[in-house]
Structure formats: structure tokens, C-alpha cells
Amino acid sequence: MTTFAWPWIVVLLPLPWLLWRWLRPVEPGQALHLPQPGMRLAKVNGRPARGAGPWVLGLGWLCLLAAAARPQWIGPPEAQQHSGRALMLALDLSGSMRTEDMNLAGQPVSRFGAVEAIAGDFISRRRGDEMGLILFGTQAFLVTPLTFDLSAVRAQLEGATVGIAGTETAIGDAIAVAVKRLSALPQQARVLVLLTDGVNNAGSIAPREAARAAKAAGVRIYTIGIGADQMRVQGFFGSQMVNPSADLDADMLTSIATETGGRFFRATDSRALADAYRAIDALEPMPQHGPTLRPKRELFRWPLGAAIALLLIAIVPRQFGDMRGRTHD
């Protein structure tokens, strides 16, 4: 339907008539003082406006008022759909995430390079979820609070660098930060996705202790252990195969996920990492109706354009007529 945001503008409708009534033309004798006492100026009767000019000006004034009243088209109410989930990402940025034992599109990349590409795509698909981002190394930091603005979460991920939070790994502290942020939400909505490539060797809270707190708060934790099982490196006696993920504590990550009702994923390459995020992405949403919104579209441009056109129609021909009269004189 169409409505007006400022309908009180209608009180200005009689303004031109009031100005015409109040601002009377000044008598010639009052407007100009002549030095000769007996001299008077003859009154010249002005010709009243004829034709359609006054009607065009009046219609232009009506259109101008209509534009000032801000006409709007308001659509039917639309319920906003939300999944009902609040999903927090906790990503490891310790020094070992620089290890280039992953492949992406046939090119070797670091562990964090693979996470940045695949987790970024995961974030973009989570429409309807609230998401937040925790980055951890020696310390854990909440970088993006829970928000529906997924582009902000992805921008923070793309702006992160390995080592920014320290070179060690504080898994327990990262879980504690997430639990603190998620605990105020409905229990079925609380989800944490934690990705790491190492073992807890920093922080003030043990991972299993943090997992018990998460379970008590109803936070489900999905853990992802990233890193290849084999990698060829150059040594003093030539190249040899090593296990770059020897420090990964898979048992601890499995225990955390199992205790909180989540699941552990082992991502030895970029394909397995993408599969892990796809499996998490397949969590059944819990539809929840948000507040209803009514779309609005401003329509003032149409009466404003009509008012300008009508005023030009009324004024421009008169100006040309005056110019012709002066030319003939």
C-alpha cells in the first residue's frame, strides 16, 4: 500500500493564498517619494493572470507538497528466517600453521592458507546463523563477536596472519572464551568449531577442563585436526619422509568432541578439510521466525519531478514572452 511518512505537510497547502492576501502591493505614493509636492503617479491597472498559468502553478504546488510528505510504498510483512544457531569459529594461528604440507588447486599452500580459503567459503554459506571468530595462539582473542554480518567475519579471517596471537597453542583458553560468549544463548543454539594442528602447550585452562565447562553450558564442540601425515623434507643426508603432524593430540580433540556431543574430523589434506566443513554445514537447522519487517520504497521522486516540470511550464513561456516584448520595444 501507499502511505505518507509526513502527512502533516498538508497544513502548508494554503500558504501561497495567505502570502497573496497578506503581502499586498504597496501604493505608488508610498513606494516612491517624489520631490515635487503636486506630482502624483498614476496607477496602472495590472492585467490579471489569464489562461492556464495559475492552474499550472497551483498543480505544481500540490505536487511539491506531495513530494515533501514523503510518499512510500509499504509491502506486506515478511518474517525474517534465522537458523537459531550461534556458531563460533576458533582457529589456531600458532607458528606451526605456516607448515606447507597442504595442497590447494594443485599448488602447495600452508595450513593456514588452506583454512583461509575453505573456512572462508564455509562462512559464506552460513546464511541465517550468527557467527563469531576466535583466533588463538599463545593467547586466545575474540576477534568478531556473534553477528549475522558474515562478511565482517570473513574479512577478519582474511586479515589474520600466523603468529599474531603468539607461536604456541592455548586450546583450553580458546574453548573457555567461546563458552563465555555462547552460554547466554538458548542451549540448542550453541556450537563451537575448533581447528588446530598441535597440542595444548599454553594458556591457563586445560582443554579437558574447558570441555567439561562447555558440556555444562550445553556447547557442542566440533574439532578439526589439520596437517598431513607425511611430508618430504630436505635433510643433511638428503630428502626423507617425516610426519609433520606428530605433535597433533588427536586423542584429546576426540575426547573434547565426544564429551560435548560433537565430532572430531582429521584433515590431512585440503579435500579432507573441505569434507569436514561440509559435514558441519549439514547440521539440521532449527527454523526460528525473527521479527517481521515490511519493505519500504520511497516514491517522492515522482511528485517532485512533476512539480519541477509544471513550474517550468508556467515560468519559461512567460520569460520568453517578456523577452519578445522588450525586443519589439
Judged against a pLDDT cut of 70, whether residue 292 lies above it is answered with no
What pLDDT band is residue 172 in, cutting at 50, 70 and 90?
Answer: very high
Instruction: Kindly report the pTM of this predicted structure.
Output: 0.63
Q: Which fold has domain 85-289?
A: Rossmann fold (3.40.50)
Q: Reduced to 3 states, what is the DSSP secondary structure of residue 190?
A: strand
Here the cell at position 274 is 573441505
Is 92 in contact with 207 (CB distance < 8 Å)? no
pLDDT in tens, 127-168: 777 889 999 999 999 999 988 888 999 999 989 999 888 889
Place of cell 517481521: 292
pLDDT in tens, 254-276: 999 999 999 999 998 888 888 99
Here the cell at position 212 is 567439561
Question: What pLDDT, on a 0 to 100 scale, did the predictor assign at position 236?
Answer: 64
Share of the chain above pLDDT 90, in %: 27
Which sequence spans correspond to the domains of the chain?
2-34+50-76+295-328, 85-289
Whole-angstrom Cα distance, residue 26 to residue 19?
A: 14
pLDDT in tens, 177-218: 999 988 877 766 789 999 998 889 999 999 999 999 999 999
Burial class (CB in 10 A: 0-12, 13-18, 19+), 197: buried
* Region for 298 from its dihedrals, namely left if φ exceeds 0, alpha if ψ lies in -120 to 50, beta otherwise: beta
Question: What pLDDT, on a 0 to 100 scale, did the predictor assign at position 265?
Answer: 93
Question: What pLDDT, on a 0 to 100 scale, did the predictor assign at position 108?
Answer: 85
User: Which residue type does 47 have?
Assistant: R
Question: What pLDDT, on a 0 to 100 scale, did the predictor assign at position 268?
Answer: 87
pLDDT in tens, 61-108: 888 888 888 888 887 776 555 555 778 999 999 988 988 888 877 788
Cα 270 to Cα 103, 214, 221, 233, distances in angstroms: 6, 28, 21, 20
User: Which is more confidently placed, 19 or 81?
Assistant: 19
Q: Average pLDDT, stretch 280-307?
A: 72
Question: What pLDDT, on a 0 to 100 scale, did the predictor assign at position 84?
Answer: 59
Q: Reduced to 3 states, what is the DSSP secondary structure of residue 233?
A: strand
